[in-house]
Amino acid sequence: MSATLRTAGLFLVLTAIFVGFGWVIGTVFFGDWLTTVVLFLLLAAAMNLVSYFFSDRIVLMSYRARAVTEAEAPALYRVVRRVADLNGLPMPRVYIIPTPTPNAMATGRNPKHAVVAVTEGAFRVLNERELTGVIAHEMAHVRDRDILVMSVAATIAGALSLLARMAFWSSLFGGGGRNRNDNGLLYIVAILGLVLVPFAVLLLQLGVSRSREYKADREGARTLGAPDALADALEQLEYRNRQNPIAFGSPSSSGLWIVNPFRGSWFANAFSTHPPIDERVKKLRLLARGQDTY
């Protein structure tokens, strides 16, 4: 499925969930579902536009990323330019994220508006060979236009989480509808929605990101002809992120990173937006020996 179709599907999912929430909230809390459905439909349209045009800025702001010039980061520019040239892509904008946790991401709506962001910690942990492998992975996302789908998914996930919190606070203060005493079933539906929305957000991200990570690993490694470079980098990054998870940002955008920077319970790890690192490394080691198991 093309990136355009996947993005359109995400927009439809967002619209459907917003309209559904509008109906539940309007019926249960205000006794007027039509008005709230129209309002939530307009809100969904606005969110779709914001997700398409500004998802990269939203993500970068949430991680306090700053743009750097070639004079400020010549080594990073050299690596990014080399990999962009190998992929036949325009030079993306380059950002630095101020955290000692080593990691990297790509975002943007298309290759002409792409951004590659690397944390400060990545420079201290990775050598140039490993960093090149990481950038090759990220540029594979850019080439396949995964960056739009993943950035939109992150923005939608954040929006749905916000919507769930809004509904939660509305339920605490009670509704003002005419049929308050007759809406027990709808109250149950509303509460179930509050419980299920975070899980739906997780499934949305799983469907978008897991298969794309394997593909980006393979394509990035083949572009450089050095699968072991990315495998070594992934092992380093996974170890460091387990020891020192990132201290800010939102888990809703975890799928944008090359490894998951957020760590939690066994349940959260089991449903991670990323495939297991051991499996990713194993496939790369086999690829280095000429065995393509993707």
Show the DSSP H helices in 225-251 as ranges.
227-243
Q: To 10 degrees, what angle do helices 74-87 and 184-224 make?
A: 90
User: Is 115 in a helix, a strand, or coil?
Assistant: strand
Cβ proximity of 97 and 86 under 8 Å? no
What is the radius of gyration, based on Cα positions, of the chain?
21
Residue 186, Cβ neighbours under 10 Å: how many? 19
138 catalytically annotated: yes
Three-state SS across 107-122? ECCCHHHCEEEEEHHH
For residue 50, the SS3 value is: helix
- Residue 182 phi, psi dihedral angles, 5° rounding: -105, 10
Which residue of the set 138, 213, 219, 238 is catalytic?
Answer: 138
Q: Contact 166/218 with Cβ under 8 angstroms?
A: no
Do 138 and 105 form a contact (C-beta atoms < 8 A)?
A: yes
Active site residues: 138
